[in-house]
Chains A and B, each alone.
Chain A
Amino acid sequence: EVQLVESGGGLVQPGGSLRLSCAASGFTFSSHWMHWVRQAPGKGLVWVSRIRPDGTTTNHADSVKGRFTISRDNAKNTLYLQMNSLRVEDTAVYYCARDRLNGPTLFDSWGQGTLVAVSS
């Protein structure tokens, strides 16, 4: 069974940093593109970042470019999101999501999410 378990969320002040983790199991982690998607309270889904299976290519949404960094450790089956210079508008539930093995991007498995709250 595919499992994605996020951790690392919490309350942080504006300008602060957090690192999210997503532990993957039940599939060959090193074969899949992986993503972070966020959802502000009561709002819709917004794609944040993605990373190639071997970690050599990453992409980030313009709203987080230069502040967030996605990475992965295939030996540990873990995905990360380093978030720096956090802003109030970054407050959201952050989901890690698996991309299907082949073809255009779609999110076929999701974690339960971890809440990041940015407030003074």
Chain B
Amino acid sequence: DIQMTQSPSSLSASVGDRITITCRASQSISTYLNWYQQKPGKAPKLLIFGASSLQSGVPSRFSGSGSWTDFTLTISGLQPEDFATYFCQQSFNVPPTFGQGTSVEIK
């Protein structure tokens, strides 16, 4: 199975900040990388697919980049509703695997 490792596990930030979350795959996955946002008690929500394509309805302050083994999720201008946990997921092969999550908390 492909192992996905996110960093950091948690971060504190203020409204308006620009933050970056990193996801590393244990082997090359081209750009088969997706990002999800999960708020407490809620289901995950797809944000970005194919490493950099924004899902319909997702604000443009979210962006993704990377390829092969190293990927980033950037939120430019953090909003109050963005405080949540973010997961990466590889879709290169089965089983699809997720990173352990990054919790974004209010400073």
In the complex, are the beta carbons of B94 and A112 less than 8 A apart?
Answer: no
**From B45, which residue of chain A is reached at the shortest CB distance?**
A110
Interface residues on A, range: 10 to 19
Work out how many contacts link A and B, with CB atoms closer than 8 A: 50
- Write the A102-120 contact mask toward B (1 if CB under 8 angstroms, else 0): 0011111011110000000
In the complex, are the beta carbons of A47 and B46 less than 8 A apart?
Answer: no
User: What is the total number of residues of chain B having a CB less than 8 Å from a CB of chain A?
Assistant: 23
- Nearest chain B CB to A1 CB, angstrom units: 12
Complex contacts, B97 vs chain A, CB 8 Å: 47
In the complex, are the beta carbons of B100 and A44 less than 8 A apart?
Answer: yes
Q: Is A95 engaged at the interface, CB distance under 8 Å to the other chain?
A: yes
A45-B44, A95-B43, A112-B43 given; A107·B95 CB < 8 A: no
The 7 closest A-B pairs by CB, nearest first: A104-B91, A110-B43, A45-B98, A105-B91, A106-B34, A44-B100, A105-B96
